[in-house]
Amino acid sequence: MPEFGLHQLMKQLGLDIKEMLDTPIRGIAALEDAGPDQIAFAESRRYQEQVQTSRAALVLVPPDFPEMPDRPLLRVENPRLAFLRIAELFVEHPGYSGVHPDASVQPDAVLGDGVSIGACAVISKGVRVGANSRIGPGVYLGEGVNIGADCRIDANASLMPGVTLGDRVLIRCNASIGGEGFGFVWLKDHHHPVPQLGRVVIEDDVEIGCNTCIDRAALGVTRIGRGTKIDNLVQVAHNCDIGEHVVMAAQTGLAGSVKLGTGSVLGGQVGVADHVNIGAGARIGAQSGVIQDIGPGETVAGFPAREKSRFMKEQATLGRLPDTLKKIKEMQQQLEALRGRVAELEKGG
């Protein structure tokens, strides 16, 4: 685990704590778990008691946090963000340095400065890997794959021929990028596969989770926009166009040629039908089924996906349905009794 002097750590983050000792810092932790060589944070005044009893070397707090003369506090505008920035400094990236002797690297592959290649990785013809990128053990890079700088491809991920990655892309274990799309034409008595001749382009600062599959385009490009974050077990079909800073939670599936606008968010297990367009900033609730276009900024849920407040009202109504049916049955019985009474009165009249 890396170790920093407190002054050194704060200087890297552009913070000033001249009045504090240069305590050695060896990590971060939650308030209740932090030791005298760790940093913790409190998001609001509600954590006063935990801060008072914490053993942390330093606690990051918001500007309006109460004074605690006996506690080492540092007031910052956004304690969570500052904490995350500190956390990044303590992330370790174990792995082989340089090219492992058990890796297979074609002679014409171009490896930038500081690249590491793990055991049993396969680097095919014409591959280019940017400076300081790390290729994990068992990774397959097909012909002509182009990887930018400071990328990380974790164990057993596969990048098929022609895939292009920008800078600082993270692809986690067992992901498959650039495999053939799921396209067939019915020919009288069988399904005939449609050749998938396109490619996949993944822009800067994208993260892709374990066991996620992103298929190459039938023609043209399947594109993942800058800053997008994709969870584990997600399926992105051929020719999808994912905008910038999109978030997709686990087990979401996009059919072919779906378009997601910038900043849209899809909850877990969302399904989106082919050729659907989802507007910028839209929010799709978990387990929704989207079968028609969603406008920018809309929030939808359910199947078929519809305006969230309407969906919630429908769900609340469904919850009352047994009692409502019971009341209707009672009213029917009362009505039948009234009809019988009216019939008796008419006969008596």
Burial of 20 (0-12, 13-18, 19+ CB in 10 A): middle
Active-site residue flag, 238: yes
Closest CA to 72 of 43, 38, 45: 38
What is the chain's Cα-based Rg?
29
Q: Where are the alpha helices (DSSP H) in the chain?
A: 6-12, 48-53, 79-89, 308-348
Phi, then psi, of 338 in degrees rounded to 5: -65, -40
Residue 179's contacts (CB-CB under 8 Å, 6 or more residues apart) are 158, 160, 213, 214, 215, 216
Residue 209's contacts (CB-CB under 8 Å, 6 or more residues apart) are 172, 175, 230, 231, 232, 233, 234, 250
Of the candidates 7, 100, 192, 238, the residue annotated as catalytic is 238
CA-to-CA separations, 41 to 27, 48, 75, 78, 183, in angstroms, rounded: 13, 11, 10, 10, 50
| 179 residue type, one letter | G
Which residues participate in catalysis according to the annotation? 238
